[in-house]
Amino acid sequence: MKNIIKSIIAITVLLQACTKNVLNKPPLDSYTDASVWSDLSLTEAYADNLYNILPTVQHNWDNKSSRSWALSAACDEGYNKFNDYNESVLNKGTLTPDNLGIFDIWSMEFSNIQNCNTFLSKIDAVPGDSSTRKRLKGEVLYLRAFAYYMLVRDYGGVPLFSKPFDLNSDFKASRSSFDDCVNFIVADCDAAANLLPVNYASSDAKYGKATKGASMALKSTIFLYAASPLWNSNKDASKWQKAADAAKAVIDLGAYQLYSGTPYCQLFVKSNPELIMVTLKSAKYSNSYTDFTGIETFLAPNGFHGWSSFAPSQQLVDAFNTADGKLITDPTSGYSDQNPYANRDPRFYNDILYDGRPFGNSAYCQDRYSAGGTNACQFYEGGLDSKTGFDNWNYSLTRYSFRKYQDTTFNFNTGLGASNHFWVISRLSEIYLNYAEAQYNLGNNTEAIKYLNLVRQRPGVNLPALDGSLSGTDLFARIQNERQVELCLEGHRYYDVRRWKIAESTQNAGCRGVTITLNGNVKSYSYGVIQTRAFNSPANYLLPIPRAEIQRTNLQQNPGYQ
Amino acid sequence: MKLTIALLLVSVLSVNAKTFSQITIKEKNIPLVKAISLIQKQSGYDFLYNYEIIQKQNNISLTLQNVSIEEALNACFKNRPLSYAIVDRTVIIKSSSTLSVTAPDAIPESYVAVPLGVIKGHISDENGKPLSGATIAIKGTTTGTSTDADGNFSLTVKDPQNVILIISFVGYKTQEVSLQNKTSIAVVMQVSPELQQQDVVVVGYSTQKKASLTAAVTTIKPEDVRMNSSPSISNALAGVSPGLVINNRSGKPGYDDALMLIRGYNTFAAGSTGVGPLIVVDGIPDRNMNRINPADVESISLLKDASAAIYGVRAANGVILVTTKRGKSGKPVIQYDGNMAFQHLTRIAPRVNAWQYMTYYNELAVINGTQTPYDPDEIEKYKQGNDPDYTSTDWTNQVYKAWAPQTSHALSVSGGTDVVRYNVSGQYINQQSNYSNSDLSYQNFNLRSNIDIRANKYIKFNVDLAAWKETSKNPAIGDNNIMHEMISIYPFIPVYWKNGLPSGGLGYGRNPVLMSSTEPGYNNITYLTFNPKLGVDVQLPFITKGLSVGGYGAFDNINTFNKFYQRPWHAYSYNKATDTYTDQYSSTALSQITQTSSQSAENTLFLKLGYDRQFGDHNVSAFAAYEQTTYNYTSTTAHRQDLLGSSLDQLFSGADLNQIGTGSASQWGRASYFGKVDYAYKGKYLANLILRYNGSFNFAPDKQWGMFPAVALGWRISDENFFKPLLPVINNLKLRASWGIMGSDAVAQYYYMTKYGIVTNPAYLTYFSDSYTQSTNLSPSSVPNPDITWEKQDTRNLGVDMTLLQNKLNITFDVFRNYRSDILAQPISSVPLYTGLSLPFMNIGKSLNRGFEFAINYRHATNRAFQYSVGVNLTYAKSKVIYQDESPNIPVWQQYTGHTVDSWLTYKTNGIYHTQDEVLHSPHLPGAGPGDLWIQDIDHDGQITSKDMVRIDYGVKPRLSFGLPISFTYKGWSLNMIFAGQTIAKVQIRPQAQSAVVVPPTWVYDDRFVSTEATPDAKFPRASNNGDSRNNVDADLYVRDASFLRLKNAELSYSFIGNDFLRKASISQLRLFVGGSNIFSVDGLKKYGVDPENTSLTGVSYPQTRIIRFGLNVTL
């Protein structure tokens, strides 16, 4: 019996030794806390992932990319046929705290901010090269600023956090004022600017990462928002001064020049000195059917086997000046709505695909030739790009498509050959226009006109200079028009009509398009609303905070939302 | 003793059989019969002779010293008219005519052909299974015989008219059968319910006599399993047992196993993980019960109460124990089971045709303020339907076909000696799919070999090897994708254009009929599963009586090979204006290959010290054990694209550019010390004690170990003296009670720490430099919860077992109360979103699941030829959330607490608005008009918001489920049916739930709102699509009762027994059957084309199937 007890004890001891190995099973598919925050290369891999904060050219049908394309369809710039980002709830004026769907970025951005805060709380203790550490810290400060910038322009003032939460944190918080948020964002931009190099050459391995220039550009933009009517109801001129100074500081860096090459459309497909900050996306994953990321397919007319997913509105088309720099509403402009595409701002031909415009490499759209057409768009009724043409469920309701951002390497015969693309976060002409708007509001019309002209007279655009005597609402109309045209499809218009508080008129006008009828050789153009739209003022100037958040916090809902 | 003329087959089982028998006999003047008997004893040989002939012989004197059996026999038969032959180990004695002996099996046949009444018979159990070794005696004599391995016997009787046979078999009621001049009889033995209590039931890590069971355990018989038409065994369990809720959610070949729940569920996990029972096959956890050959199933036990606590941290959802068959001593029994089946989709939602589609979406465009997409002229042409350019396609009926074949063949042999016993089987299954134009199919080759070796008096080994190879062939494009296209493709697009070319659907060749074919490639998976197990059991009576030590080890392996091959395919678009066809070939897909090989290995080690002994009235059975399970998984993936041509589907033919080589790995482990004591006093006072100390890798090192105890008591009242007067009425009565604590660690791994994983989703990759160099990104998991531990369930059960009406009526009734605490859930309702926290699971929930279950079975034999049994079993389980994380500001009517764990939120409606007046006079959503849902303003704030949603208490998992097993047997005929049903369950039929512009189902089209005047009685909203935030919402208008009663499994069979032809062919039994599953259903969902067990709201999952099969079983 003794022996038995002895052997049982021996077996138990032996088993206990085994048991330790049985239960010691660390994860094999991931890194642990300890390794990420002690190895600078892993820390950088963590920081690189935070670049997902920035809007992207990729069409992923998620709320990550809803702050690029979707914005054009949610304002008078364009129309999205397939309601890809749930922007129809905005266009119909039926927005509630319950139905934002993937247009909502609240939760995602705060998650990004938490990840930035985690990084910022750890980075100082990571051993290794101090210049890398410094750079990474600057990049993440810029990205946190950008995340807050995205939040405040949608929701107004939001809670501000600079420390990461854990399960034991006090979760209570309240909304900071818009101005406090602006100060927070600016502080991050300033801190980032101090830590980062001015700029990277496009060949640099770090091109596309945050820089001093990018941080200062973001500061310029957020100050412009802060000074605008939506957030500056008592017309505080010092806010305009800050906006002007911030824009001028970017200009004075001397690191950027307006794109001087031709054609102008290359500005959006090839790296160039005008670009201050871009988000790069590789075509590597764009070719497969399942990813839906190829923007050529996404934008091109149905006659090219594209989807016309985002189509320019008639309003945008009408915003392009005539070739002599006049608004088409100007009776002296010579514009005729029955010959609408002649003699227009050269940017029109670079940004828009309209009826009759040849597009793309003729070898890459052979189906059109087999069907007796050419690479010239046929948006007229019965044409290849009309609702009786190829893949007719994809025809453009406005009868336009975007040319901007597309390149001609895409082979529509095969649906393959998408190339690398970037989304513009900041570029110099936006800064010029920020500066012009700020100077106008400070009463410095000459300075404002000077920078408008710089944009309009650049090589490849070459519009005549604006009348130097322009002032008041006429000048402001020109500033608004210039932003509408120059920055179209870059996600600015949606916010511009809000900060200028003109969205109720631009939205309620509906989305307009054209119908082109061919009688013999004569085309006639009739214009009309292709989608009625509604805008509830003042509610729709901001998005509602999602109900899920209101139900768990004491945050104040935005006005007009129940 | 008088005139006994019998042929005796005397079978002497001799363990110590001598190969060279040495016979010594010194006897004077003894009957020859006695001499033969002595030779028989000493030699160990079997003897076969006509008793009458031998009895007539004169006495004999023998003096033999160590002689061979031949010498002994020669001495016996010298100068007698007898001769003998030795065949194998059998001596056949006959009158000295020529005795031709070929094979031993042939002997009885030729030899029995003696005159007088030869009675042949077959003895089987209630299920038609032959009983081997049943005793047949002639009443009033000592003469008799016993059945062979096939249940057959033959007996020579003198006076068939008056002979009465007494047939007995252990565990069955003894029967007296009057021959009445019949020469062939078939007797079906009835299980003796008293003796049934001696049946052994498999419980956790041991077996127990049914009589001494204190737990709520149901045992499912192999017959029920074999009746199932689906290749997945879990489908056999529907309606069979109380306490078990079975729902089949898909009929996809190879993926049609059922969702199983024991007594409902009691945790917050939404899907099927974390709510289902632990599956244990032959003692090894995590084995796949669905892939076992049904013919190999010996029993399935369900541990429904605290008896499951012996499985510790994985026990809380109950345990299913599957035991496979082992060999029994005896002649090899060979069995073949074959069947051919046809699968038919139970329900498919009917969808509108072309002109209806166009009408619908024109209506929608008007509502949305956009241009109408379809010309009225065009619609009219489709309506006329006489222009070949304007046809309508019913895509659903093009993608699916009506019948798909399925076959199964299984062969087994079992038998053995006292040293080695075996049960060896093989099975082949081939299941085709209901896609009309596809290779989608499932095949399985299945082998099992269970061998027992008794090495000596004390040591037993068992070697169990199971292996199967499954091949799952799939289209390159996933089911969801194909079915998404099927329900969203326009009905005015044809499958083939009028010139015969295939259409390209909505573009990129997305014609679902082509997508399901092999033209876009394939996605094939091969699973090689190997389940070996070696066990040893050593009795140690020399240390102390009843002591044993043993254990087993298993190393289960699954090797998976997945090859995904995609290539472009030819599909054409057609331009009516120019009458041109365009091949979309080059835009359909990239050519690419992705190969993944993975290996998962689960090792189990189990050691046990057992003690089993009776001291007078005290019966003790106990064990202490150690168990550990470890798991390792690795996978390797290789990818190349832009293949040189589509003729060679191999990796090397892809381009170097964009090639990918990657892999992944995971591991886990659990260890336990545990034990159990079963104690019985006089067999009527019963007690069990279970204790398990369990460690799980899934928690922080200081939170890994926990204790799980359980106690159960039983009282066999019917064994008490005071109960005796009642015994004629109540034949058996037992009360049971149990309590235990069990755990569930079924939560994703490593929540106690933050993990940083490499980002692989292309949408989240980042690139830098104008050469677009991809960076490696790390993404964090949730914030750590170092305190995470398992869920705990306090499980209580009270039960009663009763037998009435001369053992014909069996009743089992149980009530249970399961209180679960520390339920793992994310605090996603209370933690503000602005914290940006990615939340870990935390032990924050509490829930109570109460209910009852019963089974009543009545079994009756009106006469020997006809018998029937009917039963009903029912399970009611209602959960109630005691605590769950809630948002502090939600209205009380939306709080989860107090409702069932599967409750959900929906809008209450008054149907739809029919007039503008109704809209104006009621709170409504912005922009609402006639034809929109009339949502009730529950909070009376004058607005319709999500605050007006109310909680509905139950969902797709039924609160009440029941089964009705019915069987009739008449002679060789047998009809078995299992009805299964459920009620108190809800299902949604929201027509636009799929996120796309879909083809509306006809039932919504026919009953939609068009205008106040035209459709005053419309039930469903105006034309809408998935983006319609006023109508495509969860609303009671789309909620339907998911109650059903369906004939789940049924089988009609005829067994040929005792047939001369079969006997000549050495076939002991031939059974032909026709059967099926999901044969019909009574429910309220037929008009929506929704199967009542379907839970797919979107309609893009493979539907359920009805299976009709024909087959035969042959037993040799």
Query: Binning pLDDT at 50, 70 and 90, where does residue A407 land?
Result: confident
Range B755-781 average pLDDT: 92
Do residues B204 and B307 touch, judged by C-beta distance below 8 A? yes
pLDDT (tens digit per residue) in B372-387: 889 999 999 999 988 8
Report which listed range, A363-372, B59-68, B442-451, is most confident. B442-451
A162 touches chain B (CB under 8 A): no
Token couple for B1022: 């105006």
Q: Which residues of B touch A118 (CB under 8 A)?
A: 780
Instruction: Give pLDDT, residue B152.
Output: 82
Range A79-83 average pLDDT: 88
Do residues A74 and A445 touch, judged by C-beta distance below 8 A? no
Percentage of the residues of chain A whose pLDDT score is greater than 90 = 75
Say yes or no for a CB contact (<8 Å) between B668 and A25. yes
Q: Which residues of A touch B939 (CB under 8 A)?
A: none
Could you say which of B754, B769, B926 has the minimum Cβ distance to residue A207? B769
Residue A264 has pLDDT above 90, yes or no: yes
Lowest mean pLDDT among A49-53, A341-345, B543-547, B952-956: B952-956
CA-to-CA separations, A232 to A239, A241, A493, B348, B874, in angstroms, rounded:
8, 13, 19, 59, 70
Range B1107-1113 average pLDDT: 94
Range B843-871 average pLDDT: 89
Residues A516, A519, A522, A523, Cα dihedral to 10°: 0
Task: Give the whole-angstrom CA distance, residue B923 versus residue B841.
Answer: 39
Do residues B550 and B473 touch, judged by C-beta distance below 8 A? no
Do residues B305 and B739 touch, judged by C-beta distance below 8 A? no
The structure tokens 């047949």 sit at B136
Query: Binning pLDDT at 50, 70 and 90, where does residue A255 land?
Result: very high
CA B739 to chain centre: 28
- Distance to chain A for B764, nearest Cα, Å: 6
| Residue B508 main-chain phi, psi, to 5 deg | 55, 25
Q: Which amino acid is at B1052?
A: L
- Distance to chain A for B954, nearest Cα, Å: 23
pLDDT (tens digit per residue) in A468-513: 999 999 999 999 999 999 999 999 999 999 999 999 999 999 999 9
Say yes or no for a CB contact (<8 Å) between B943 and A382. no
pLDDT (tens digit per residue) in B91-149: 777 776 544 433 333 334 334 333 356 777 888 877 667 777 777 877 777 677 778 77
- Determine the number of helices (DSSP H) and then strands (DSSP E) in chain A: 20, 9
Instruction: Give pLDDT, residue B108.
Output: 40
Residue B278 has pLDDT above 50, yes or no: yes
Q: Which residues of A touch B370 (CB under 8 A)?
A: 397, 530-531
Range B1000-1020 average pLDDT: 94
A530 touches chain B (CB under 8 A): yes
Instruction: Give pLDDT, residue B67.
Output: 84
* pLDDT, chain B, mean: 87
Range B1055-1061 average pLDDT: 76
Q: What is the DSSP string of B87-104?
A: ETTEEEEEESS------T
pLDDT (tens digit per residue) in B488-547: 899 999 999 989 999 998 888 899 999 999 999 999 999 999 999 999 999 999 888 889
Query: Binning pLDDT at 50, 70 and 90, where does residue B763 land?
Result: confident
Q: Which residues of A touch B607 (CB under 8 A)?
A: 11, 15
Instruction: Give pLDDT, residue B956.
Output: 83
3-state secondary structure A395-459: CCCCCCEECCCCCCCCECCCCECCCCEEEEEEEHHHHHHHHHHHHHHCCCHHHHHHHHHHHHCCC
Residue B19 has pLDDT above 50, yes or no: no
Query: Binning pLDDT at 50, 70 and 90, where does residue B833 land?
Result: very high
3-state secondary structure B847-908: EEEEEEEEEEEEEEECCCCEEEEEEEEEEEEEEEEEECCCCCCCCHHHCCCCCCCCCEEEEC
Could you say which of A27, A165, A529 has the minimum Cβ distance to residue B749? A27
Q: Give the helix/strand (H/E) hosting A474.
A: helix A472-486
Three-state DSSP at B1045 gives strand
Instruction: Give pLDDT, residue B11.
Output: 32
CA-to-CA separations, B79 to A208, B70, B94, B431, in angstroms, rounded:
115, 15, 14, 68
How many C-beta neighbours within 10 Å does residue B656 have? 7
Say yes or no for a CB contact (<8 Å) between A27 and B696. no
Q: Which residues of B touch A4 (CB under 8 A)?
A: 543
Residue of chain B with shortest Cα separation from A95:
B926
Say yes or no for a CB contact (<8 Å) between B946 and A547. yes
With a CB cutoff of 8 Å and minimum separation 6, the contacts of B107 are B48, B87, B90, B92, B101
* pLDDT, chain A, mean: 92
Query: Binning pLDDT at 50, 70 and 90, where does residue B159 land?
Result: low
Say yes or no for a CB contact (<8 Å) between A32 and B756. yes
How many C-beta neighbours within 10 Å does residue B41 have? 12
Instruction: Give pLDDT, residue B178.
Output: 78
Say yes or no for a CB contact (<8 Å) between A64 and B763. yes
pLDDT (tens digit per residue) in A346-398: 999 999 999 999 998 889 988 889 888 999 999 999 899 998 888 878 899 99
Query: Binning pLDDT at 50, 70 and 90, where does residue A291 land?
Result: very low
Do residues B905 and B945 touch, judged by C-beta distance below 8 A? no
**Taking the CA of residue B959 as centre, how many other CA atoms within 13 Å lie in the half-sphere pointing to its CB?**
19
Residue A419 has pLDDT above 80, yes or no: yes
Query: Binning pLDDT at 50, 70 and 90, where does residue B171 land?
Result: low
Instruction: Give pLDDT, residue B100.
Output: 42
A291 touches chain B (CB under 8 A): yes
Closest CA to B390 of B366, B361, B357, B365: B357
| Residue B800 main-chain phi, psi, to 5 deg | -135, 140
The structure tokens 């309508």 sit at B392
Instruction: Give pLDDT, residue B109.
Output: 37
Higher pLDDT pick, A185 / B577 = A185
Mutation for A interface: B623, B833, B890, most A CBs within 10 A: B833
Query: Binning pLDDT at 50, 70 and 90, where does residue A289 land?
Result: very low
Range B228-232 average pLDDT: 88
For chain A, the farthest-separated pair of C-alpha atoms sits apart, in whole angstroms, at 116
Say yes or no for a CB contact (<8 Å) between A173 and B834. yes
Residue of chain A with shortest Cα separation from B602:
A22
Task: Give the whole-angstrom CA distance, residue A543 versus residue B320.
Answer: 52
Chain A 229-268, residues with CB within 8 Å of chain B CB atoms: none
Residues B526, B527, B528, B532, Cα dihedral to 10°: -170
Task: Kindly state the DSSP code that residue A349 receives in the 8-state scheme.
Answer: H
Percentage of the residues of chain B whose pLDDT score is greater than 90 = 55
Mutation for B interface: A48, A374, A395, most B CBs within 10 A: A48
Q: Which residues of A touch B477 (CB under 8 A)?
A: none
**Taking the CA of residue B208 as centre, how many other CA atoms within 13 Å lie in the half-sphere pointing to its CB?**
30
Three-state DSSP at B21 gives coil
- Distance to chain B for A129, nearest Cα, Å: 19
Range B778-802 average pLDDT: 94
Task: Kindly state the DSSP code that residue A54 receives in the 8-state scheme.
Answer: S
Task: Kindly state the DSSP code that residue B39 receives in the 8-state scheme.
Answer: H
Instruction: Give pLDDT, residue B2.
Output: 35
Radius of gyration of chain A (CA): 27
Instruction: Give pLDDT, residue A36.
Output: 95
Could you say which of B577, B695, B776 has the minimum Cβ distance to residue A388? B577
Do residues A304 and A455 touch, judged by C-beta distance below 8 A? no
A311 touches chain B (CB under 8 A): no
Q: Which residues of B touch A423 (CB under 8 A)?
A: none
The structure tokens 């089971």 sit at B337
Token couple for B87: 């065949």
Task: Give the whole-angstrom CA distance, residue A457 versus residue B907.
Answer: 58
Residue of chain B with shortest Cα separation from A54:
B766
The structure tokens 């969860």 sit at B1034
Query: Binning pLDDT at 50, 70 and 90, where does residue B39 land?
Result: confident
Q: Is B1051 exposed, middle or buried (0-12, 13-18, 19+ CB in 10 A)?
A: buried
